[in-house]
Amino acid sequence: MLSAVEANILAAFFERVSKAEEVSDDVVIGLRRAFASGKLPKPEQLVQLIADNNGELLT
Amino acid sequence: MIQIEEIHIQELRGIRDLRLKLGSKSFVICGPNGSGKSGVVDAIDFAFTGSISRLTGAGSGGLTLLKHGPHVHCRDDPGVARVAVTFSDTASGKTAVLRRNVRTAKQYTLEPDIAEVRAAVEKAQQHPELTLSRREIIKYIVAETGKRSQEVQALLKLDRLGEIRSILRTTQTKTSSAEKTAQEYVKTAEDALRRHLDLAELLTSEVASVINRQRRVLGLEPIDGLDHDTDLNQGFDVDLSERAFNKVSAVRDTTALMKALPDPVAFLTAVKNLNEALDFLEADPNILTTLQQHDFVTAGLALITDAQCPLCDLEWPDVENLRVHLTDKLARSENAAKLQVQIQEGARATIAESQSLRKLIGTVKSAASSNTSDGLDTCLESWSTELAALETQLGSVEGAIAQRPRLTSDPLGLPEAVSSGLADLLATLQAKPDQSVTASAKTFLTIAQERWNILRQARAECTKKAAAQAVARVVYETYCEVSNEVLATLYHAVEDEFSTYYQAINADDESAFKAQLEPSAGKLDLAVDFYGIGMFPPTAYHSEGHQDGMGVCLYLALIKQLLGTDFRFAVLDDVVMSVDSNHRRQFCNLLKTRFPEVQFIITTHDEIWAHQMQSSGLVTKAAQVRLHSWTVDDGPAYEEAGDFWDKIDSDLAKSDVPPAAARLRRNLESIMADLAAALHGQVAYRAEGNYELGELLSAVKGKHGKLLNLAAKAANSWNDEVVKACVEKLKIARSAAVLAEESEYWAINRAVHFNEWANFSKADFIPVLAAWKQFLALFSCENSSCESLIYVVSNNGNEEALRCKCGSFNLNLRIK
């Protein structure tokens, strides 16, 4: 379970990262889901998430 | 948040049976060392968290709540070690009784068990930092910057920030590695195509020119240029039944492999870098253990769901403690982790170069299998398999260590037969009759298309990996940026609060004090002002007492940030033991004025400080307990707080003059200091703060007389007959009391300077006592429930009134 400050930081992070040109909406949605449970994701999951959701955008 | 009304402790730590009524107000537990004060603190800690922090953490190895929580006589019966706390929930105003025993420490009962009070208990359970000792407070000040960052972040419940940062950084590192590998695949594919086309560089115009030369032979339309979708062999059917052989191309491939051997530069450079990293690892075997722990602990951290350690099944007091413990371990292996990254990078580069080499080997093997029969193809196949096995081993640090002998002796593992076999193959290829122009053009275009396909795929993959890396980098940097901004704001707020609190305690000499909290790369630097000379680490020039003061102030600033208006309860276990008497008085004022809604439970071995807490109004006379005469069999004896006059009377009832006299003297010293401060009485400044009773008494008497004269003048100016009469009455009382005090002061003087109490009889002492009672009564109001001393109210340096806390005593000092 994240503390209030940690949760605020995460919310501000999602807000800002969603505006970054390089990051697709799908990646942002995936990141939100990955952190939603309160349990932290593994780096491998995030690597996969980015790879899966940037494929179409990038090729 | 909870506030304690009453606590009943049985058979816990050093306490056999103790019941304290705190009334949801600040409370003092006073007693000498070893009298059981910390037992009460442990009981409160236990009641709300199910654990005792002193039995966990650093230096508590081998101690457990189950074995060492109960009183030593009940160590085999943890069920009888129990605490019952009657508490109120400040949010709902509801009251309940919480009961917990050591045998079933994780469970508690509530009566009544209603949602609001259960939520309050759960909240208190999440905040074990509300119970803390000097040892815990001072760690915010004297800690190393990295450690301080952890402590502060743990207190602010920010320890998962580092974890999230680390996860995103690792994600970035992994995508970066993947991008580098993809770039190397592109380079390998480019080499293969360039070699086939016999070009130094793959410039579009030159590639098109070479391809069109062959296409013209076959009567095909030339290609206009070269893009991602261009087919080099468009217009003729490729025979897929057999592998295309082009003599010229096969000669070039074979020559390329021969040139690369026996020392392929890129591969051997990658191996050299890997070996350098492995040298460090070999030089210190502990690093490997730490590295293994690093992975193990990282895995454990990710698996935490409750207070049971996922690595060893040990039950922790709470999930946060467990998390902090594992995060601590990870931080200690940070250097090892950096080395791990170096090794992984070296291994990755070696694997990429090996794969590139194997691609070339594969190409030559095809030529060998159709053109020689001396087993070169089998030999190349087996060598390639060996290299593939090496690549697999290099996938982990342990595997790389296992391959160390090979990496330091013959990493390439080139079979002897290969060199001579390649020379034979080259001779065979060169001796072959040239292909017909048409066949040569067809096979040339077919192989060119094959290699172009591989290059296109490699480039597409590389573009994807580069984009993924860019995304991972932006994600990581954005998180760092946002968290740094939020933390900077948070730390600035803490900085301001901390400075304000410390200034309040040290208004006499550090009223311009300021502090700086600077987060940087997982560290938290703390610098404090030293008398306007500059900013220094807090331990550089400030005394231990000042550091104690800073510790408490920083703690209060942090906890205020964490809980805001929910900060309603804290247990301070002997936290300002090194702070001198004058600054402790200011500390009382700080707690009273800045945190009026907070119930502080404060332990101290210093009776004078306990008295200061009462005289400052931080606690009431009734909100105190004295613990003393602790024994193993009985625990502490205790007395509810009472007037020190009662205690002196009690001593005298036993004709025990020396303790009564000592008590009188110590309390007079303390009260006179409080009175001098309250009335703004002036004494000659002493840097060490040790004022003698005589000089304080003189200042108090003098200022009291002046204030009454001023009150009389003010009453005259306002023509207030009632106040004039009141002041006159006070002056008469003062004259009598001062006369009595001065008549008996000889006794005090002899006792203070010559320690002659032992020679006094009860009869000598009774008039002394009466005189002081009469004198001190001048400074209290007539309302017996008002326990404060009278004090001067000033505004911008102007003394405006002389009042007591309840307002019964209130003299105007302003003249019309």
Match 């911008």 to its residue by tokens: B796
- Whether B294 maps to a domain, the answer reads no
Specify whether B700 is located in the same domain as B633: no
Residue B754's pLDDT is what? 52
What is the value of pTM for the model shown? 0.65
Residue B477's pLDDT is what? 94
Q: Which residues of B touch A30 (CB under 8 A)?
A: none
User: B464–A44: do the CB atoms touch at under 8 Å?
Assistant: no
User: B472–A46: do the CB atoms touch at under 8 Å?
Assistant: yes
For the beta carbon of residue B271, count every other beta carbon within 10 angstroms. Answer: 25
Last residue of a domain, one of B590, B620, B642: B642
Specify whether B606 is located in the same domain as B687: no
- Whether B83 maps to a domain, the answer reads yes
Residue B521's pLDDT is what? 58
> What is the C-alpha separation between B332 and B346, in angstroms, rounded?
23
Element at B30 (helix H, strand E): strand B27-30
Specify whether B743 is located in the same domain as B632: no
Total domains, chain B:
2
Residue B177: closest CA among chain A residues belongs to which residue? Answer: A47
Specify whether B661 is located in the same domain as B806: yes
Specify whether B667 is located in the same domain as B635: no
Asked if residue B43 lies in contact with residue B571, where contact means CB atoms within 8 angstroms, the answer is: no
- Whether B687 maps to a domain, the answer reads yes
Specify whether B662 is located in the same domain as B631: no
User: A47–B171: do the CB atoms touch at under 8 Å?
Assistant: yes
Chunked mean pLDDT (size 10), chain B, 816 residues:
92 91 91 87 91 72 81 91 93 92 91 90 81 73 72 77 87 92 93 93 90 91 83 76 82 92 88 91 77 75 75 74 75 73 90 92 90 85 94 90 92 89 92 87 90 92 92 94 88 90 85 83 78 87 84 88 87 80 82 92 84 83 81 77 74 82 76 84 76 86 93 92 92 89 71 59 83 88 77 83 86 90
Give the bridge partners for B628, in sequence order. B637
Best A19, A28, A46, A49 residue to mutate vs chain B (most B CBs within 10 Å): A46
> What is the C-alpha separation between B467 and B460, in angstroms, rounded?
11
Domain that holds residue B584: 2-126+568-642
pLDDT in tens, B234-265: 887 766 666 788 899 999 999 999 998 888 88
Residue A7's pLDDT is what? 86
Last residue of a domain, one of B584, B615, B642: B642
Residue B213's pLDDT is what? 93
Specify whether B579 is located in the same domain as B708: no
- Whether B588 maps to a domain, the answer reads yes
Q: How confident is the model at residue A58 (pLDDT cuts 50, 70, 90)?
A: very low
Tell me the count of A-B CB pairs closer than 8 A: 99
Q: Which residues of A touch B160 (CB under 8 A)?
A: 2-3, 6, 40
> What is the C-alpha separation between B304 and A2, in angstroms, rounded?
13
Residue B756's pLDDT is what? 59
- For residue B464, give the nearest of A6, A8, A58 by CB distance: A58
Residue B643's pLDDT is what? 64
* Distances in whole angstroms, Cα of residue B273 to Cα of each of B280, B295, B402: 12, 23, 17
Specify whether B624 is located in the same domain as B771: no
- Whether B309 maps to a domain, the answer reads no
Last residue of a domain, one of B615, B642, B669: B642
- Whether B655 maps to a domain, the answer reads yes
Assembly ipTM: 0.94
Specify whether B795 is located in the same domain as B723: yes
Specify whether B674 is located in the same domain as B805: yes
> What is the C-alpha separation between B135 and B759, in angstroms, rounded?
43
Q: Which residues of B touch A48 (CB under 8 A)?
A: none
Specify whether B692 is located in the same domain as B582: no
Total count of residues recorded for chain A: 59
CATH number at residue B584: 3.40.50.300
- Whether B702 maps to a domain, the answer reads yes
> What is the C-alpha separation between B772 and B762, in angstroms, rounded?
15
- Whether B318 maps to a domain, the answer reads no
pLDDT in tens, B603-612: 988 877 888 8
Specify whether B632 is located in the same domain as B738: no
* Residue A55 reports pLDDT greater than 70: no
Residue B258's pLDDT is what? 92
